[in-house]
Structure 1
Amino acid sequence: MKRKLFVSSAAAVVLVAGGPVAAAAASTAGDAARAPTAVTAVPADVSAETAAGAALKKFPGVVESLDKDGSVWHVDVIGKGGKHAELEVDSSSGAVTQQNSDDNDDNDNGYAALIAAKVTAIQALKAAVAAHPGQVRSVSWDDDDNDNGKTSRYWNVEVKTSGGQTQNVHVDPTSGKATLSHDSGDNDENSDGGSDGSDGGSN
Structure 2
Amino acid sequence: MKRNIVIAAVTAAALIGGGTATALAVTGGDGGGPTARHADARLSDQEVRDDEARDDDSGRDDDPRPSATEVTAPQAIAAALEHTPGTAVSAELDDEDDTGEVTWQVDVLSGGDARHSVRVDPHSGRVLGAQAEREDDTAQLRAALKGTSVTAAEAAKAVAGKGTVTSVDLDEEGRTTSWELETRASGGAEQDWHVDPHTGKVTADRADDSNDPDDD
Tell me the TM-score normalized by structure 1. Answer: 0.60
Taking only aligned residues, the RMSD between alpha carbons, in angstroms, comes to 2.8
Q: Which residue of 2 aligns with 1:30?
A: none
**Paired residue total:** 139
Q: Which residue of 1 aligns with 2:182?
A: 158
Task: Quote how far apart the aligned CAs of 1:69 are.
Answer: 2.0
Counterparts of residues 1-203 of structure 1 (less than 5 Å): 45-70=70-95, 71-102=102-133, 107-114=138-145, 116-130=147-161, 133-145=162-174, 151-184=175-208
SS of equivalent to 2:88: strand
Structure 1 unaligned spans of 5+: 1-42, 146-150, 187-203
Question: Sequence identity of aligned pairs in percent?
Answer: 36
Aligned counterparts of 1:164 and 1:106: Cα–Cα separation in 2: 32
Runs of 4+ with >3 A deviation:
102-107
Q: Does structure 2 conserve the Cα–Cα contact (< 8 Å) formed by 1:63 and 1:76?
A: yes
Q: Which of 1 and 2 has higher RCO (CA within 8 Å, sep 6+)? A: 1
Structure 2 unaligned spans of 5+: 1-66, 96-101, 211-216
**Deviation digits for residues 160-197 of structure 1 (CA, Å, limit 9, x no counterpart):** 112322110100010100000013269xxxxxxxxxxx
Aligned counterparts of 2:146 and 2:110: Cα–Cα separation in 1: 9
Structure 1 range deviating more: 101-110 or 113-122: 101-110
When Rg is computed on C-alpha atoms for both structures, the one with the higher figure is 2
- Name the one with the larger strand percent: 1
The AA in structure 2 aligned to 1:141 is L
